[in-house]
Chain A
Amino acid sequence: MFDFLQYAFMVRALEVGTIIALISPLIGMFLVLRRYSLIADTLSHISLAGVAIGLLFGVNPLFTAIGAAVCSSVVIERLRLSKRVYGESALSIFLSGSLAVAIILISLAHGFSVDLFNYLFGSIVTVKQSDVYAILGIGVIVFAVVLLIYKELTYITFDEEAAQVGGIPTRFINTLVIALAALTVALAIPIVGILLISALIVIPVVTALQFKEGFLRTIVYAECFSLFSVIAGIIVSYYFDLPAGGAIVVLALVFFVLSLISKK
């Protein structure tokens, strides 16, 4: 039954998948509740430009994607805070701008064929052993930072002004959470793919919200939906030779539809 575990690439995919499944809804909870889900999409497109840079110059695309996403996330947040550009407009500019850069880079390299396809839609064979260590290390950091600022983040998400009056450094924490979202998006790319990562950040959270529970329970529910979708999605993709990202997101969507029906 667990014959897939004899393959090293499947073990790597499941290890990385578990980390991604845990951190995605954790960050997603704060993005969704602050009506900032679209940033996940923007960051994933920025990551595509990062991946293209990596493939073009022969550097590990995971690291170039992380660099591009984190740097851009800080700039987006600064731009939003400056109030010179509406928040949504800033996202839109970066989304289309980074896609334009990515297309130019891909064209310069005359396409990246299979490699690029794997990064776009996710693949269980994309993950290298070095990626496992990097994703595990950075994933643990993301998880730990969210736990460290959990109280403050919750307060800001619920009532930003009251949190500010309470002496909580809202600007710093807002920038930090966007940078963490950028890290999460970049880390999830090898498994889920650039075009589907925002779904993993958003759908399990929206599914959990249908159960109308408190904050902590909603996070736990979202983590469960995410974990199950990712692990089952990777196994399904192995047996049916499907892109992992597609299988994961379709499963997450099934849970969402079921939650809608059951809570009608």
Chain B
Amino acid sequence: MSVTDHSHTIIQLSDVSFAYGDEMVLEHVTIPVHRGDYLAIVGPNGGGKSTLLRVLLGLETPRSGSVSLFGQDIKKFKGWKKIGYVSQLATHIDVNFPMTVQEVVLMGRFPRLGLLQLPGKKDHEAVENALKEVGMWEYRDRRIGDLSGGQKQRVFIARCLAGEPEVIILDEPTVGVDVKTQKQFYALLQKLNTTMNLTLILVTHELDVVDHEATEIAYINKTLVYHGVPKNFVHTEYFARLSGKEDVHV
């Protein structure tokens, strides 16, 4: 089991509101993330889940409220190497992009290197360890575009791991991936959470994750509707909506 340290909040969204033009997408969202958490962000389409991630990553600036990362305001935050990010890119990557698996994973080390610094032995070792951790070392010389969706996702996780982050943030990582591969992928995430005590935050539609693997659930529909442990969430009307037991599109 992962060890969630409730005394140690590493990410704090406080009263965050965000709008695209005049359209409010997030309103007064407050979520603390503790070290060791496995937080699944769920909610209906257009409810603001991915926007919340983008605000948290500094890719969008909130209209009001604040985001703090590792105790520092996001505007002053410099420790980005502590955060790994897996975007939705992996599921629709250009198949002709000329990059090997090893080259992709090595990029995870770049935030740790200075401007003139070239990757050295330590960086290549980190790449090897990360690829072995996700079971993709044998594929190191293959082109990223030649891999299956699930394999690409593993490579993207390896890219994060190579950077030795404390938190990994994933935006709908298994869109377009078959159910069996999804299960293997989430088993890998759980292993990272429990054995390496990595904090995980992901936007997902997969109810198995909500039900069995995450330690915290945040249900977002413009506002934070629910935030708590999965065992309570599965008995709420929101879980019923997500699982299609109520007639609400997810």
> Which residues of A are interface residues toward B (Cβ below 8 A)?
33, 148-149, 151-152, 154-155, 158-159, 161-168, 208-209, 212-218
Which of B81, B86, B98, B116 contacts A167, CB < 8 Å? B81
Report the bound CA distance from A105 to B214 in whole Å: 67
Q: Is the interface of A mostly helix, strand, loop or mixed?
A: helix
Is B100 touching A214 in the complex (CB atoms < 8 A)? yes
In the complex, the answer to whether A168 meets B99 with C-beta atoms within 8 Å is no
30 A-B Cβ contacts within 8 A?
A33-B98, A148-B115, A148-B116, A149-B115, A151-B110, A151-B119, A152-B115, A154-B103, A154-B107, A158-B99, A159-B87, A159-B89, A161-B89, A162-B85, A162-B87, A162-B107, A165-B58, A165-B80, A165-B83, A165-B85, A166-B85, A209-B98, A212-B96, A212-B143, A213-B98, A214-B98, A215-B99, A215-B100, A215-B103, A217-B98
Question: Bound complex: CA of A212 vs CA of B98, how far in Å?
Answer: 6
Choose one: A33, A155, A161, A218; the contact of B110 (CB below 8 Å).
Answer: A155
Interface residues of B in 99-146 (CB under 8 A from A): 99-100, 102-104, 107, 110-111, 113, 115-116, 118-119, 141, 143
In the bound complex, CA of A16 to CA of B172 (Å): 50
| CA distance in complex: A215, B107 (Å) | 12
Mask, B53-95, CB within 8 Å of A = 1, is 0000111000000000000000000101101011101000000
What is the bound-complex CA distance between A236 and B95, given in angstroms? 37
Distance, CA A214 to CA B98, complexed state (A)? 5
Chain A residues with CB below 8 A from B107, complex form: 151, 154-155, 158-159, 162-163
Closest to A35 in B: B94
> Chain B residues near A151 (CB, 8 Å)?
107, 110, 113, 118-119
Q: Which residue of A lies closest to B111 (CB)?
A: A166
CB proximity of B200 to chain A, nearest CB, Å:
15
From B97, B116, B141, contact of A158 by CB (8 A): B97
Q: CB within 8 A of A168: which of B78, B96, B111, B163?
A: B111
Known: A158-B97, A167-B78. 11 other contacts (CB 8 A): A33-B97, A152-B110, A162-B107, A165-B59, A165-B80, A166-B81, A166-B85, A168-B110, A212-B98, A214-B99, A215-B100
**A167 & B80 in contact (Cβ 8 Å cutoff):** yes
Chain A proximity of B77: nearest CB distance (Å): 9
A149 vs B119: C-alpha distance in the bound complex, in angstroms? 13
The distance from the CB of A129 to the nearest CB of chain B, in whole angstroms, is: 33
Chain B residues with CB below 8 A from A209, complex form: 96, 98
Expressed in whole angstroms, the minimum distance between the Cβ of B82 and any Cβ of chain A is 10
> Do B87 and A158 have beta carbons less than 8 Å apart?
no
| Bound Cα distance A149, B17 (Å) | 36
Shortest CB–CB separation between residue A155 and chain B, in angstroms? Answer: 5
Interface residues of B in 173-198 (CB under 8 A from A): none
Assembly CA distance A215 to B144 (angstroms): 11
What separation, in Å, do the CA atoms of A81 and B111 have in the docked complex?
23
B98 touches A161 (CB 8 A): no
Q: Which residues does chain B contribute within 8 Å of A33, judged by CB atoms?
A: 97-98
The residues of B that contact A212 with a CB separation of less than 8 Å are 96, 98, 143
Per the bound structure, the CA–CA distance linking A161 and B54 in Å amounts to 10
Alpha-carbon separation in the docked complex, A218 to B96 (Å): 12
Residue of A148, A158, A165 touching B57 (CB-CB under 8 A) = A165
Q: How far is the CA of A154 from the CA of B159 in the complex (A)?
A: 14
Out of A154, A155, A164, which one reaches B59, CB within 8 Å?
Answer: A164
Give A163 to B57 CA distance when docked, in angstroms. Answer: 11
Which residue of chain B has the shortest Cβ distance to A218 in the bound complex?
A: B98
How far is it, in angstroms, between the C-alpha of A206 and the C-alpha of B115 when the chains are bound?
29
Please name the residue on chain A nearest to B117 by beta carbon: A151
Contact residues in A for B141 (Cβ distance below 8 Å): 214
Bound form: Cα–Cα A163–B100 in Å: 18
Residues of A within 8 A of B100 (CB): 214-215
Min Cβ gap B224→A in Å is 23
Minimum C-beta distance from A197 to chain B (A): 23
Q: What separation, in Å, do the CA atoms of A151 and B80 have in the docked complex?
A: 17
- Most chain B CB within 10 A, of A148, A154, A208, is at A154
- Within the complex, what minimum Cβ distance (angstroms) separates B38 from chain A? 20
